[in-house]
């Protein structure tokens, strides 16, 4: 049950990981200065919504349903920090950018706002 409800969120997290693990030379130079930050915001806002919905729908781990929005937001933040640290230490032609971490956090916050607009502030129980 857990994987069935969270398959999209896990797949999206893997998609983010693969994109961030690709060598920097795989990407063309952006014509817009902050396009990469917009991409980070978008990726992490979608991740937030997918994981939040998945955690709410699953019944196997009830503790994940309590304070779900806070847990998913913090999880997205930690995931973004881990990816940035891996970019600085393990991935080829990549580097740590603090602004990417902020963009990831903003993305999770945008995802929270989108989730609240779609589902409201209910208890989701």
Domain residue spans in the chain?
2-22+35-119
Question: Using CA atoms, how far apart are residues 116 and 69, in angstroms rounded to an integer?
Answer: 10
Question: Using CA atoms, how far apart are residues 82 and 88, in angstroms rounded to an integer?
Answer: 10
Q: What is the pLDDT along the chain (125 residues), one digit of tens a residue?
A: 899 999 999 999 999 999 999 987 666 676 677 888 999 999 999 999 999 999 999 999 999 899 999 999 999 999 999 999 999 999 888 889 999 999 999 999 999 999 999 999 876 65
Locate 36 and state its tokens: 């990469």
pTM (2 d.p.): 0.91
Q: Coil, strand, or helix at residue 93?
A: coil
Question: Using CA atoms, how far apart are residues 92 and 115, in angstroms rounded to an integer?
Answer: 35
């Amino acid at each position: 049950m857990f994987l069935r409800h969270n398959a999209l969120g896990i797949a999206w997290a893997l998609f983010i990981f693969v994109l961030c693990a690709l060598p920097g030379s795989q990407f063309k130079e952006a014509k817009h200065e902050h396009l990469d930050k917009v991409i980070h915001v978008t990726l992490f806002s979608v991740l937030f919504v997918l994981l939040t919905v998945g955690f709410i729908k699953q019944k196997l781990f009830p503790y994940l349903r309590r304070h779900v929005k806070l847990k998913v937001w913090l999880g997205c933040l930690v995931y973004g920090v881990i990816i940035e640290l891996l970019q600085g230490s393990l991935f080829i032609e990549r580097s740590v950018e603090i602004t990417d971490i902020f963009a990831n956090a903003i993305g999770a916050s945008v995802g929270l706002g989108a989730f609240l607009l779609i589902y409201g502030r209910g208890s989701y129980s």
